[in-house]
Amino acid sequence: TQLLEQSPQFLSIQEGENLTVYCNSSSVFSSLQWYRQEPGEGPVLLVTVVTGGEVKKLKRLTFQFGDARKDSSLHITAAQPGDTGLYLCAGAGRAGGTSYGKLTFGQGTILTVHP
Amino acid sequence: EPEVTQTPSHQVTQMGQEVILRCVPISNHLYFYWYRQILGQKVEFLVSFYNNEISEKSEIFDDQFSVERPDGSNFTLKIRSTKLEDSAMYFCASSGLPTRPQETQYFGPGTRLLVL
């Protein structure tokens, strides 16, 4: 069974601070996706990382996939109140496998950015 | 921008009743999925569907559950005899362009199912 441990579970910071959310697993994933989920809504895709060591930037958000494709991080620079929300990481398939589906989700990080 | 849609947004049913949750995946996607999220818990995989058959299912997806693609656009999840513990948010997702099969999954807004 593949597991994805996401930390921290809760993060409360002041506007302008930086933060990092981590996702770790003992399993290798073929890709890793980061989502943001608002209450009562479906996960909305932020980014997909596929290659070990890959770094992707989305404005103030930086996503990194570990070299071994077992872990990933989300770094937010100069957080703003609009960044407040639930952030989810999800690993897809197994490296070298044929299954593209079955996303394994982390438990999520609830981020609160205070003005 | 294309999106996954789901109906109904909310469903309340009595224990033992059958429910059908409906989804319209993004057109020209090839892979379809159902996930569920019990309140306060992780999003959990239920089933994946490709080429008109189930390609993978979880332990949760027992004989009470079935999926179907009755026409070229809809993708349904049926729960034959609902139990209290089936109460959850159910998400449909789709992925996979013909030329890029290993593609990101896009999620619908969900159906909140409450079993009384």
More confident residue, B46 or A31: B46
- DSSP letter, residue A77: S
Looking at the complex, does the CB of residue A3 fall below 8 Å from at least one CB of chain B? no
As a whole number of angstroms, the distance between CA B93 and CA B43 comes to 12
CB B107: neighbour CB atoms within 10 A? 23
Closest A-chain CA to B112: A40
- Tell me the pLDDT band of A31, cut-offs 50, 70 and 90: confident
Q: Parse chain B into domains and list their residue ranges.
A: 5-98+107-115
As a whole number of angstroms, the distance between CA A100 and CA A84 comes to 30
Please confirm whether the linkage preceding A39 is cis (ω < 30° from 0).
no
**Tokens (6 digits) for A87:** 């952030």
- Tell me the pLDDT band of A100, cut-offs 50, 70 and 90: low
- Tell me the pLDDT band of A40, cut-offs 50, 70 and 90: confident
CB B21: neighbour CB atoms within 10 A? 23
Predicted local distance difference test score (pLDDT) of residue A62 = 97
Phi, psi of B67 (to 5 degrees): -130, 155
- Tell me the pLDDT band of A99, cut-offs 50, 70 and 90: low
Closest B-chain CA to A41: B109
**Tokens (6 digits) for A19:** 């933060």
Residues of B whose CB is below 8 A from A92: 105
As a whole number of angstroms, the distance between CA B48 and CA A100 comes to 9
Q: Beta strands B19-24 and A71-76: pairing type?
A: unpaired
Predicted local distance difference test score (pLDDT) of residue B88 = 97
What is B5-98+107-115's CATH topology? Immunoglobulin-like (2.60.40)
Cβ separation A35–B107 shorter than 8 A:
yes
Across the beta sheet with B75-79, the strand order is B5-7, B19-24, B75-79, B65-68
The pLDDT tens digits for A50-93 are 889 999 999 999 999 999 999 999 999 999 999 999 999 999 87
Mean pLDDT for A19-40 is 92
* Those residues with Cβ within 8 angstroms of residue A94's Cβ, 6 or more apart along the chain or in another chain: A2, A27, A28, A29, A30
Cβ separation B107–A44 shorter than 8 A:
yes
CB pairs under 8 A between A and B: 66
As a whole number of angstroms, the distance between CA B63 and CA B74 comes to 21
Closest B-chain CA to A43: B107
Predicted local distance difference test score (pLDDT) of residue B98 = 47
More confident residue, B35 or A41: B35
What tens-digit pLDDT sequence spans chain B (116 residues)? 779 999 999 999 999 999 999 999 998 888 899 999 999 899 999 999 988 899 889 999 999 999 999 887 899 999 999 999 999 999 999 987 545 545 688 999 999 999 99
- All domains of chain A in start order, with CATH: 5-114 (2.60.40.10)
Phi, psi of B86 (to 5 degrees): -80, -10
- DSSP letter, residue A93: S
Cβ separation A100–B103 shorter than 8 A:
yes
Which one of A34, A47, A100 makes the best mutation probe of the B interface by having the most chain B beta carbons within 10 Å?
A100
Predicted local distance difference test score (pLDDT) of residue A102 = 83
**Pick from B109, B50, B85: which is nearest to A99 by CA?**
B50
Predicted local distance difference test score (pLDDT) of residue A1 = 67
